[in-house]
Structure 1
């Protein structure tokens, strides 16, 4: 099917959403998405940040859609024309959505561990308003430890449901979900039961804000002072492909590798995430490539020498490879 987004024409398969069609083009015309996650079935349609204007429905029915639509939930039609950054109506609506998301969100970015990786920060900077009209007291929740490795700070949550989909689709049992309705809705465990399964740590990776954080990493380092390195290991539970975050020669956290849209490429197990924090546990592949739009790239770490322990590991791997090649020749 042929679809035109902000004047750019692209051919896509039937059933493709407008958001994924825009991602195939790439660049600034890709709508922001806080709740959609391509690897989680059923995600999307919650945050409304990806609203776009369909100015032409299709070749058969060229009438425009009467309202703005969520691009993550709307499939393309042949001949459809879509406006994103070229529509003043979309920009104004998106500004209102951001204002709504920030109504109850706390202003604790200076102490939040998600700073530097927070999609809500990026969204508010690119699409938000400079001032707020909200004068009422914000809703607050007590912090909850859901297990010995994960802390839930519900005050920061925007109810994107990503963590719920992860628990539903990666584990055999789910202990947490949405409790309450309306402005009383919250992510919580039933009677504060601990989340305890091999893939529970992935709720941290998919959370777009600082609502679910790694207790083993909290307040240890700002991400833009860390040096992320790609590594892998032979893991019987998951793919073992991770990103190691270094502070000097110490691995201070392990996360899944994320693509340009902040989505995890492969979900990893808790053993890799929480228990393997020695360089000797991993095969180092090299520094991660970070977008120059990210504050993490301000370190220009990819132009610097990796930590000594990483250099030593890479040298050993190279020596072993040469020795193996010489042995196989003879």
Structure 2
């Protein structure tokens, strides 16, 4: 019989939760859910080694544990710090954390361009949400921003390094999901950049997933680039039988009418991919007939994508029946047959161009 694991009791923003030993503060907060979950721009639960780079998930540990109740002297990254039994953590209840997070956001935006109106990531950008919630009204940065030229790192992927915040997610994705990695972080310090070695192209069956894991608009889908805005599209869950054994075949189709504009992997409430998909599903299957559509994707009502995305709507009650005391209203008459002005054989709504005098009956003076 397996030995029962002793759970650690942790309190985050005065809410208690029990988790297994080795759980990070961030994942413990995600188990509770809601607003107390720290934001994360670099951590990705499905990528080994991710986290600890963006510093947006900083929290205050006011009590280390029952065995050692001393607080930690500095704010810690919740994605890298594991819980202890009896630990007490402050996130949204700590003014110190909120002020530090505001500074981190300001730092991330030092070189990030304010091109949200033309960025394909607008509407589903984590940095955009983070700057709205924790950002300052203005910047104190007085120096020239770091800029790079846009480059193609493959026939399907566009790299706009000026927007990159060096979260390393795309590097970990290519390293752990594909057989070989052609790109990484080149340079050091302020000169660091995501790039390929000697201008190689990213060519792999799963390399398109770097687009999904990017929290900003640094890596975008060239087949969708500038074609539409996400809040004008209707995301629907769909699946297909994929010949690639590593691909789950479960995706989200972003449609307008019957046209499929792009295909992405399904993401959870924290913006993380549930299952990675292959490039065939992502780039080559852009017809609705290629998929089994399951239904509308559930969208957070606070997201801009939710506008026009009506699910489980209730048809308003028609008050006319009650006004008429239960009697059904009579259908409106056909103006084309009842009118004594236009000729009966002429349907004014179907004629080419404006109505002519010949289309009307001549009135007797």
Residue 54 of structure 1: aligned partner:
61
> How much has 1:137 moved relative to structure 2?
1.1
Match of 1:165 among 165, 169, 172: 172
Q: Distance in 2 between matches of 1:272 and 1:131?
A: 42
> How much has 1:303 moved relative to structure 2?
5.1
Which SS does the other structure have where 2:311 is aligned?
helix
Residue 4 of structure 2: aligned partner:
none
> How much has 1:300 moved relative to structure 2?
2.9
Q: Does structure 2 retain, via aligned residues, the 8 Å contact 1:242–1:257?
A: yes
TM-score normalized with structure 1 length? 0.91
Whose relative contact order is higher, 1 or 2, with alpha carbons under 8 Å and at least 6 apart? 1
Residue 97 of structure 1: aligned partner:
104
1:36 aligns with 2:62: no
Match of 1:25 among 28, 32, 36: 32
Matches within 5 A, 1:239-318: 239-302=248-311
Which SS does the other structure have where 2:251 is aligned?
strand
Gaps of 5+ in 2: 1-7, 314-365
Matches within 5 A, 1:131-280: 131-237=138-244, 238-280=247-289
Specify which structure has the higher proportion of helix. Answer: 1
Residue 325 of structure 2: aligned partner:
none
Q: Which portions of structure 1, spanning 4 or more consecutive aligned residues, are displaced by more than 4 angstroms?
A: none
Which SS does the other structure have where 1:10 is aligned?
strand
Q: Distance in 2 between matches of 1:260 and 1:127?
A: 19
> How much has 1:81 moved relative to structure 2?
0.1
- 1:221-252 per-position Cα deviation (integer Å, ceiling 9, x unaligned): 10000000000001121110000000221000
Q: Distance in 1 between matches of 2:56 and 2:32?
A: 19
Gaps of 5+ in 1: 305-330
Q: Does structure 2 retain, via aligned residues, the 8 Å contact 1:5–1:82?
A: yes
Q: Distance in 2 between matches of 1:171 and 1:162?
A: 14
Q: Distance in 1 between matches of 2:176 and 2:295?
A: 31
Q: Distance in 2 between matches of 1:17 and 1:293?
A: 27
> How much has 1:220 moved relative to structure 2?
0.6
Q: Over the residues paired in the alignment, what is the CA RMSD in angstroms?
A: 1.0
Aligned length: 305
Q: Distance in 2 between matches of 1:49 and 1:270?
A: 31
Match of 1:107 among 114, 119, 125: 114
Q: Distance in 1 between matches of 2:164 and 2:30?
A: 26
Which SS does the other structure have where 2:84 is aligned?
coil
Q: Does structure 2 retain, via aligned residues, the 8 Å contact 1:91–1:127?
A: yes
- 1:8-55 per-position Cα deviation (integer Å, ceiling 9, x unaligned): 000000000000000000000000000000011110001000000000
Which SS does the other structure have where 1:129 is aligned?
coil
Q: Distance in 2 between matches of 1:99 and 1:259?
A: 27
TM-score normalized with structure 2 length? 0.83
- 1:126-160 per-position Cα deviation (integer Å, ceiling 9, x unaligned): 01111111121101001110010000000000000
Q: Does structure 1 retain, via aligned residues, the 8 Å contact 2:10–2:87?
A: yes
**Bigger CA radius of gyration:** 2
Residue 356 of structure 2: aligned partner:
none
> How much has 1:191 moved relative to structure 2?
1.1
Which SS does the other structure have where 1:273 is aligned?
helix
Q: Does structure 2 retain, via aligned residues, the 8 Å contact 1:221–1:247?
A: no
Residue 359 of structure 2: aligned partner:
none
